[in-house]
Chains A and B, each alone.
Chain A
Amino acid sequence: MSAQALSDALWGMLAAGGVAAVAVSHLAGAHLERISALVRRVEANRAAYVCVIVSWMWVGWHFFAR
């Protein structure tokens, strides 16, 4: 297997894992917290919330402006 194929497979597995985790978290009686609940937990701390917002801003600037 080439390095490129391996990288593609790993990125694909991560993406699939993320989608699966989101789906599982929305199942009734799931033992995995939803992302929205995680965000609310972070928001309970103002410093952590500011970090999340600044990270969101950086992602946008990095991908769309620079």
Chain B
Amino acid sequence: MTDRARHRATAVVGLGAAIGLSAWAAATVPFTPGADTVTAIGIGLVALEVAVRWRRRVLVVGVDPDQAAPARWWPWLALAAALLALELASFFSGPRVDHPTISSLYDSATRWRAVKAAFFLGWLCLGAALVRS
């Protein structure tokens, strides 16, 4: 089997496992052993991958000098700051129905299992991307 075929097979198996875990997560309720277990499995898989890749990781990443200019990334910082400010303002305001936080918006959205499965799958994919980037 070539490296490319092996890589593709790994990706397909990984995606299948992630979809299976997401379907399981969507059927769980927070604060129950099932929710703890499925979340711990996701965390454990990424932690294992981090441990395996830790020694191989290239620590000095080549950065284009042109990209080092603050103007390149400050809009992301501004967006993150705005998100944090709105989250804090909402958290310390009330009632929650008038000032929803990210958590309450998430709770409203995940009344539907498909939405919760999509969130879980997105979280797993983000973890995989962070490890493999």
Asked if residues A39 and B82 are in contact (CB atoms below 8 Å), the reply is no
Q: In this complex, what residue of B is CB-closest to A39?
A: B133
* Chain A CB within 8 A of B130 CB: yes
Secondary structure of the A side of the interface? helix
Q: How many angstroms from the CA of A18 to the CA of B79 in the assembled complex?
A: 7
Asked if residues A66 and B67 are in contact (CB atoms below 8 Å), the reply is no
In-complex Cβ contact of B42 among A35, A37, A52, A60 (8 A): A60
Q: In this complex, what residue of B is CB-closest to A56?
A: B127
Q: How many angstroms from the CA of A52 to the CA of B131 in the assembled complex?
A: 10
* Chain A CB within 8 A of B1 CB: no
Known: A53-B50, A64-B30, A64-B39. A32 touches B72 (CB 8 A): yes
Asked if residues B42 and A33 are in contact (CB atoms below 8 Å), the reply is no
In-complex Cβ contact of A44 among B42, B43, B59 (8 A): B59
Q: What chain A residues lie within 8 Å of B52 (beta carbons)?
A: none
Q: Mark B26-49, 1 if CB is under 8 A from A, else 0.
A: 001011000110111011001100
| Contacts of A1-20 to chain B: CB distance below 8 A | 2-4, 7-8, 10-11, 14, 17-18
* Chain A CB within 8 A of B65 CB: no
Interface residues of A, Cβ cutoff 8 Å to B = 2-4, 7-8, 10-11, 14, 17-18, 21, 31-33, 35-41, 43-46, 52-53, 56-57, 59-66
